[in-house]
Amino acid sequence: MVRRDGPKGGAWEVVQPRCARRRREDIEEVEAMIAAGELEIARDELVWLLSECPDFLEAHVQLGLIALEDGDPKLARGHFGRAYELCLRALEAAGSPRPLPHALAGNRPFFEAAKGLVHCLLATGRRPLAADVCRKLAPLDPADPLGIQKLPRR
């Protein structure tokens, strides 16, 4: 689901699923585990969180990052791709609203997933798909604070 930011707002924000909002503390614990280097425990917790809430965007992003750390871009692509696709579907259902700035907290997992997806697509030789993701993202937040548009040019 997507909503306007504020009563008048011109910006739009992705609304995380209810099950994800209820597990905010769990994802914070996972982030602390990752920061402490406890990747195996964090991975297990994230898999459990996804079993309870399959559309938990931040859990997919974190699992994608762990998979990249483990040198598995195909697994990472699956997690990043799932979060990216979930958000695209929500945007399409809302009529493709714009802008969708990264600065809004609800949008950050989408852009982080998209950046990870582009990285994985490039790492696995799928440059045309990476360019397609970039084309879809460009009008959503033209400021591109994560530098996603620059990735395919490297």
Number of domains in the chain: 1
Does residue 98 register a pLDDT over 70? Answer: yes
> Looking at the whole model, is its pTM more than 0.85?
yes
C-alpha 61/C-alpha 78 separation (Å) is 10
Look up residue 58 and give its two tokens.
């931040």
In which residue are the tokens 């992705």 written?
14
Structure tokens at 121: 């697509």
Residue in the block written with tokens 């799928």? 126
Look up residue 128 and give its two tokens: 């045309």
d(Cα 32, Cα 19) in Å, to the nearest integer?
20
What is the 8-class DSSP label of residue 56?
-
Q: Are 79 and 64 in contact (CB under 8 A)?
A: yes
> 123-147 pLDDT, tens per residue?
999 999 999 999 999 999 999 999 9
CATH number, domain containing residue 6: 1.25.40.10
Using the predicted structure, report yes or no on whether residue 6 has a pLDDT greater than 80. Answer: no
What pLDDT sits at residue 7? 52
Domain enclosing residue 122, as ranges: 2-153
CA–CA distance, 64 with 44 (Å, rounded to integer): 13
Residues 33-42 pLDDT 10s: 999 999 999 9
Q: Using pLDDT thresholds of 50, 70 and 90, give the confidence band for residue 9.
A: low
Residue 110 near residue 83, CB atoms below 8 Å: yes
